[in-house]
Amino acid sequence: MPLISTTKDLADFCARLSTESFVTVDTEFMREKTYWPKLCLIQLAGTTEAHCVDPLAPDIDMAPLFALMANESVLKVFHAARQDLEIFLHESGHLPKPIFDTQVAAMVCGFGDSVGYETLVAKLAKARIDKSMRFTDWARRPLNDRQLVYAAGDVTHLRVVYERLAETLAANGRTAWLDQEMAILTDPAHYRVEPEDAWMRIKARSRSARFLALLQELAAWRERTAQERDLPRNRVMRDEGLLEIAASAPTTPDALSQLRSVSKGMAEGTMGLGILEAVRLAQAIPEKALPHPPDREDLPQGLGPVVDLLKVLLKMKCEEAGVAQKLVANMNDLERIAADDNADVLAMEGWRRALFGEDALRLKHGHLAIALTADGQGLRVIPLSN
């Protein structure tokens, strides 16, 4: 299989694909040593041809590919699209549109939670995936034919998987369900990492507002440094180090170097200057502007059994409809519904509300009951009078 490594060949291939109703897409990337994913290979297939594209080739211009990804007359089909979409957003500044994610579609069609590509290929395309090249170093050149054939399999089998899932969605009237999910996936806000919000991902025991201000500034410093140097966050500093600095709030290089997480060289270098500036900024924040920890949503007394009943109802509804439970609601959603009829959760919106949310409220307010079937082998929902 020839590897596309020139701008002309890429432009010609993308021109042919632009006449297709859909193309299947996959990427291979490395991220172990970088903040941003390093794009190493792109696989593309139309209905009759498939090629791998080498983004690491000297002087290749990826503009034809990005134009194809932006062409809204061509559907882009991915499996587990999120990381691929993040790469395209970083590389081109735009997300591909429109898209079809076969993993999400499979969850809508009853294949379970986060179903793998290999499973779908086996069930829908009646083919097997060669696993031997799974751990290839895709950044190393040259790539051999076996590697390229393996990589291309991620988009050639995907054609059949897409067609079967699209047929199923149309037959069961759930195409609109998937459209709602794709609208979420193609919202750029889901891929932006704002340095000022990075502290929220760190588990901190202290709920002191000043401590959280220090953690916020330190996490923002780490995020910006990681982005600028293209390093993983933990290569800049681990979470434990940020928590230690936030707790001690050092103001001098000497005080900073006394901490277990900071070497003397770091404390006295540019990294140390950045850390101390973050501490200074946090200490200068007025009391009224300090961040506050997220409110703890403790479950009101006595609602535990209600959550258990909602969990049973969710399982029943999803099994009956052939939809993955994970796609409809999680335990946090159930707890919030138990506590509040107007809970701001996806389970109470759109198709999820029709499938589960409305009956969840009816069950909660005594208008539905769950009982064993007459043979004792299953459960059924019984409407109750108001």
- CATH class as words, domain 3-190: alpha beta
**What is the C-alpha to C-alpha distance for residues 91 and 122, in angstroms, rounded to an integer?**
33
> What are residue 382's DSSP bridge partners?
369
Which of these is catalytic: 84, 101, 333, 335?
84
Q: Identify the helix (H) or strand (E) that includes residue 257.
A: helix 253-257
Q: For the ranges 151-165, 188-202, 220-234, which has the lowest average pLDDT?
A: 188-202
Q: What is the DSSP string of 268-304?
A: HSHHHHHHHHHHHHHHTS-GGG---PPPP-PPPTT-H
Q: For the ranges 118-132, 170-184, 372-386, which has the lowest average pLDDT?
A: 372-386
191 part of the active site: no
**What is the C-alpha to C-alpha distance for residues 50 and 272, in angstroms, rounded to an integer?**
50
Which of these is catalytic: 20, 35, 86, 150?
150
CATH 1.10.150.80 placement within the chain:
195-289
Q: What is the pLDDT of residues 225-247, one digit of tens each?
A: 999 999 999 999 999 999 999 99
CATH 3.30.420.10 placement within the chain:
3-190
Which of these is catalytic: 20, 28, 181, 359?
28
What is the pLDDT averaged over residues 109-132? 90
Among 3.40.50.300, 1.10.150.80, 1.10.600.10, 1.10.10.10, what is the CATH number of 195-289?
1.10.150.80
**What is the C-alpha to C-alpha distance for residues 151 and 134, in angstroms, rounded to an integer?**
9
Classify burial at 4, counting beta carbons within 10 Å of its beta carbon; exposed 0-12, middle 13-18, buried 19 or more: buried
**What is the C-alpha to C-alpha distance for residues 347 and 328, in angstroms, rounded to an integer?**
6
Classify burial at 97, counting beta carbons within 10 Å of its beta carbon; exposed 0-12, middle 13-18, buried 19 or more: middle
26 part of the active site: yes
Which of these is catalytic: 54, 91, 154, 217?
154
Rounded (5°) CA angle 232-141-70: 65
150 part of the active site: yes
59 part of the active site: no
Q: Which amino acid is at 271?
A: M
What is the pLDDT averaged over residues 157-182? 96
Question: Tokens 């979420």 appear where?
Answer: 184
16 contacts 74 by C-beta, under 8 angstroms? no
Cα first-last separation, the chain: 67
Which of these is catalytic: 20, 26, 91, 335?
26
Give the predicted TM-score (pTM) of the model. Answer: 0.88
Q: What is the pLDDT of residues 125-151, one digit of tens each?
A: 999 988 777 788 999 999 999 999 999
340 part of the active site: no
SS3 355: helix
Classify burial at 330, counting beta carbons within 10 Å of its beta carbon; exposed 0-12, middle 13-18, buried 19 or more: middle
